[in-house]
Structure 1
Amino acid sequence: MIQASGLRKVYGNTVALDGVDLHVREGEIYGVLGQSGAGKSTLLRCVNLLERPTAGTVTVAGQDLTALRSGDLNRARQRIGMIHQHFALLSSRTVAGNVAFPLEVMGVPRAERERRVTELLDLVGLSGRGGDRPNQLSGGQKQRVGIARALAGNPSVLLSDEATSALDPATTQSILSLLKRLNTELGLTILLITHEMNVVKSICDSVAIMSDGRVEESGTIADLIRTPGSRLTREIFPLPEPAPAGSITLTFTGDPHQPVVSEVVRKFDVDVSILGGSIENLAGSAVGRLRVSLSGDEEASALDFLRARGVVL
């Protein structure tokens, strides 16, 4: 659904993006994770060409946006919704007026606008609040208005620019749950940027980790968790580094509650010392990581057994 190839963005002497490739499949929630200055926001704005890249191409739903002229580009953007970090609501308009604004720009007749606004406010859990002003709403409610507005044009792609960073943890979770529901019910492809690992853990199917304008690693959460040495795995499961000499880190990507370690002890002549570990819920699936020390005559056979059971070493 979204493909960026060789994206480069330069501001004077500052290289904000340096050869970024991004491949987002239709219907997935894709997170771009990184600290301030990593290039996340610039990448997001290049996807809908609010920033035109210095080099490279951006294709959305089969259209090369970088090749479109102004009028065609504006029409293509109508299929790309955008959620902003600080809501970006018009204080002079009601909630309904804010949601209706993009429909007015698109020339949608009044009766159809009103029907669509009512539908959207109900979808995001704000039924009956259309006559309120933004200053009467909580932060979470303001973001729900922003989401409804982003959905006004029936987009196939939704871009989220740190949509939860200004919210408290409970409200953040409610907004993430809403985005996940919209992804499932509407088939929306969602590209979100965040500096919060919890956002990635909660709803993302895939992730790209950025630093200094480059993508350090990318892929599905499941594939990265299975990749030895993955930065994502290290950040989700922050075991003490460096690992003690002779220790082994085991990653369980199936059912982490299966008694695999006790099976090893029963089947092989080995001793297992547990040095640390944890279980995390990643997009609805439990994943475990355990650091152990193995010793004994059948250590090699025990490791082969673990690999055969799907444990990543």
Structure 2
Amino acid sequence: MIQASGLRKQYGQTVALDGVDLHVREGEIYGVLGQSGAGKSTLLRCVNLLERPTAGTVTVAGQDLTALPGRELNRARQRIGMIHQHFALLSSRTVAGNVAFPLEVMGVPRAERQRRVAELLDLVGLQGRGGDRPHQLSGGQKQRVGIARALAGNPSVLLSDEATSALDPATTQSILALLKRLNAELGLTILLITHEMNVVKSVCDSVAIMAGGRVEESGAIADLIRTPGSRLTREIFPLPEPAPAGSVTLTFTGDPGRPLVSEMARKFDVDVNILGGSIEELAGGSVGRLRVALTGAETSSALSFLRESGLLVEVAGEAA
């Protein structure tokens, strides 16, 4: 649904994006994770060409946006909704007026605008609040208005620029739950910019980790978790580094119901000393990471057993 190739964005001598590639599949929630200055927001603005890249191409729903002239680009943008960190609501308008604004720009007749606004406010849980002004709303309610406005043109893609970073934790979870529901019910493809790992863990199917204007790691979360040396895995499960020489780090996904470690210990007469670990619930299911020290004559066979059982096995001091 979104394909960025070789994106570069330069402001004078400052390089904000340096050869970024991005592949977002239709219908997924894709997170772009990184600290301030990593290039995340610049990437997002290049996706809908609010910022024109210095080099590279952006294709959305099969259209190369970087090749479109102004009028065609404006039409293509109507299929891309955007929600903002600080809501960007018009204080002079009511809630309904804010949601209706893009429909007015598109020339939608008044009766159809009213019907669509009522439908959208119901969708985001703001029934009966159409006559309120933005100052009468909480932060979470303002963001729901922003989401309803972003959906006004029936977009196939929704861009979210740090949409929860100005909200408290409970409100953040309610907004993330709303985005997840919209993704499922409407088939929306969502590209979500964030600096918070908890946001990625809660809703994202895939992620790109950015630093210094580059993508350091990207892919489906389930695939990255199973990749040796994955930065994502280290950040989700911050075990002490460096790992003690000879220690074994085990990573598993899915239902941890089978007691593989105890089964291994019995089968190969291996002693297991647990050094640390945890289990996390990600959008795709349970993921666990456990660091152990093994002693016994058959440790090599024991590790082979774990690998054959589907675990990612990393031995400190050994090449991946």
TM-score bucket (shorter structure): over 0.9
2:131 corresponds to 1:126 = no
Distance in 1 between residues matched to 2:288 and 2:13, nearest whole Å: 44
Unaligned runs of 5+ in 1: none
Q: Is the 8 A contact 1:254 1:310 kept in 2?
A: no
Once the two structures are superposed, what CA deviation does each residue of 1:110-142 show, in whole Å capped at 9, x if it has no partner? Answer: 000000000000000000000000000000000
Identity %: 88
Name the counterpart of 1:41: 41
Aligned residues: 313
Distance in 1 between residues matched to 2:281 and 2:235, nearest whole Å: 14
Name the counterpart of 1:111: 111
Q: CA deviation at 1:7?
A: 0.1
Q: Is the 8 A contact 1:6 1:57 kept in 2?
A: yes
Name the counterpart of 2:317: none
| TM-score, structure 1 normalization | 0.99
Name the counterpart of 1:248: 248
Amino acid at match of 1:154: N
Name the counterpart of 1:16: 16
Distance in 1 between residues matched to 2:118 and 2:254, nearest whole Å: 43
Name the counterpart of 1:92: 92
Q: Is the 8 A contact 1:30 1:192 kept in 2?
A: yes
Amino acid at match of 2:229: G
Partner of 1:249: helix, strand, or coil?
A: strand
2:3 corresponds to 1:3 = yes
Question: Which region of structure 1 is more displaced relative to structure 2, 245-254 or 13-22?
Answer: 245-254
Name the counterpart of 2:61: 61
Name the counterpart of 2:185: 185
Distance in 1 between residues matched to 2:204 and 2:254, nearest whole Å: 18
Distance in 2 between residues matched to 1:305 and 1:255, nearest whole Å: 18
Distance in 1 between residues matched to 2:38 and 2:295, nearest whole Å: 43
Q: CA deviation at 1:284?
A: 4.5
Distance in 1 between residues matched to 2:257 and 2:161, nearest whole Å: 36
Partner of 2:190: helix, strand, or coil?
A: strand
Amino acid at match of 1:132: D
Name the counterpart of 2:164: 164
Partner of 2:100: helix, strand, or coil?
A: helix
Amino acid at match of 1:193: I
Question: Which region of structure 1 is more displaced relative to structure 2, 105-114 or 245-254?
Answer: 245-254
| TM-score, structure 2 normalization | 0.97
Amino acid at match of 1:65: L
2:199 corresponds to 1:194 = no
Q: Is the 8 A contact 2:205 2:284 kept in 1?
A: no
Distance in 2 between residues matched to 1:126 and 1:205, nearest whole Å: 28
Q: CA deviation at 1:269?
A: 2.0
Name the counterpart of 2:318: none
Q: CA deviation at 1:255?
A: 1.7
Once the two structures are superposed, what CA deviation does each residue of 1:84-132 show, in whole Å capped at 9, x if it has no partner? Answer: 0000000000000000000000000000000000000000000000000
